[in-house]
Amino acid sequence: MAAAVELIALHKDFGKHEVLKGIDLAVEPGEVVVVIGPSGSGKSTMLRCINFLERPTSGTVTVLGQRLTAKGTQLMRVRRQVGMVFQHFNLFPHRTALQNVMEGPRVVLRVSKVEAEQRARALLDKVGVGDQADKKPNKLSGGQQQRVAIARALALDPQVMLFDEPTSALDPELRAEVLDVMRQLASEGMTMMIVTHEMHFARKVADRAFFLDGGVIVEEGLPAEMLERPKTERLNRFLNRIFWGEVPGAATAGETHLDPLDNKLDPT
């Protein structure tokens, strides 16, 4: 079966600054992968190259068997099949939650108003904000906004979902509600690529993890193995920093802090 997303020798410079220095990876349909790494490692840039929000400097991006080019119609078609969720939600502030979710089907897919609304309400229910449908984004909490944003992306019936640090702008107690929705999506078989710092989520939900540093993939493997027994010194250092901080003695504080899913997962 063809890969859902395949990157070959992907390079990206911003002027003289080389952010991606040759990325090769393939994500199979139905797979959930997380991308971790320090800030500035290029993980967001990599994700944004997949739907050409950033144009790669060289290398190829193949999504659902279609090699991406800058050509308008082809690019628009591929983008409709790839949903994206942003760190800062990027909801349309002049439209209600319901209208935000209807916008793609109405404008891009040209679905009838009745059908778009029906579908939008179902999606808002699915992500647990059905009762907020008529509110503008600025009346919603961050967690609610992000769930509306996920519903908005799902409304186009995508084959692949990209998440760019979806919980990084949220207060810790609001993260769980977003992670829950993502976990449910994963269990339904959605192909997902998630740039995140949520290590527990990575360990429990993802099939595979990639560790990016300095614009290259330093390590990849099963999330649990990678997090427990990092093979490279760089990953080891990174994990130490995010789990324990630089402060000696604060050893387990990070663990409980990053644990919004624990009581809900792992029935085994």
Partner 1 sequence: MGVLAYNWDFSWIDDNWPAFRHAWWVTIQLLLFSALFSVSIGMVVGQLLNSPRWWVRALPRIYVELFRLTPIILQIVFFFLVLPIVFGVSTTNFKTGILALSLNYGAFAAVIFQAGIAAVERGQWEAAQAMGMNRLVTLVRVIYPQAITKMLPPIGSMLIYLNKDTSLVSVIGVTELFNVSQSVGARLFRNIEVLMFIAMLYLVINIPLAILSERLHKKYSVNA
Q: Which stretches of the chain bind partner 1, using CB under 8 A?
A: 51, 53, 72, 76-77, 79-80, 82-84, 86, 88, 90-94, 103-104, 107-108, 149, 152-153, 156
Nearer to partner 1, 107 or 242 (CB): 107
Neighbours of 219 (CB within 10 A): 19
Residue with tokens 């971790």: 36
The minimum distance between CB 172 and partner 1, in angstroms, equals 23
| C-alpha to C-alpha distance for 223 and 180, rounded to whole angstroms | 18
**Residue type at 179?**
L
The structure tokens listed for 218 are 């330093």
Residue 15 or 72 with smaller CB distance to partner 1: 72
Are 220 and 43 a contacting pair, CB within 8 Å?
A: no
Structural tokens at position 182: 């993502």
We find the least distance from the C-beta atom of residue 35 to partner 1, in angstroms, to be 17
Residue whose CB is less far from partner 1, 8 or 53: 53
Residue 89 or 211 with smaller CB distance to partner 1: 89
Residue 77: partners with Cβ closer than 8 Å, 6 or more residues away: 66
**Cβ 11 to partner 1 shortest distance, Å:** 20
Nearer to partner 1, 98 or 149 (CB): 149
Q: Residue 107 CB, nearest distance to partner 1 (Å)?
A: 6
Choice between 36 and 149, CB closer to partner 1: 149
Nearer to partner 1, 34 or 91 (CB): 91
- The amino acid sitting at 64 is L
CA distance 99 to 231: 47
Q: Which residues pair with 20 in a beta bridge?
A: 12
DSSP 41: S
CB of 53 to partner 1, least distance (A): 5
* Side-chain-side CA neighbours of residue 97 (13 Å): 29
- Please state, in angstroms and rounded to a whole number, the distance separating the CA atoms of residues 62 and 3: 8
Q: How far is the CB of 157 from partner 1 (least distance, A)?
A: 12
Task: Work out how close the CB of 90 gets to partner 1 at its nearest, in angstroms, rounded to a whole number.
Answer: 4
From residue 144, alpha-carbon distances to 113, 129, 207, 244 in Å are: 24, 7, 27, 30
* Alpha helices in 51-189, H assignment, sequence order: 72-81, 97-103, 113-126, 142-154, 172-187
Given the complex with partner 1, which of 48 and 203 has the nearer CB atom? Answer: 48
- Minimum CB separation of residue 162 from partner 1 in Å reads 8
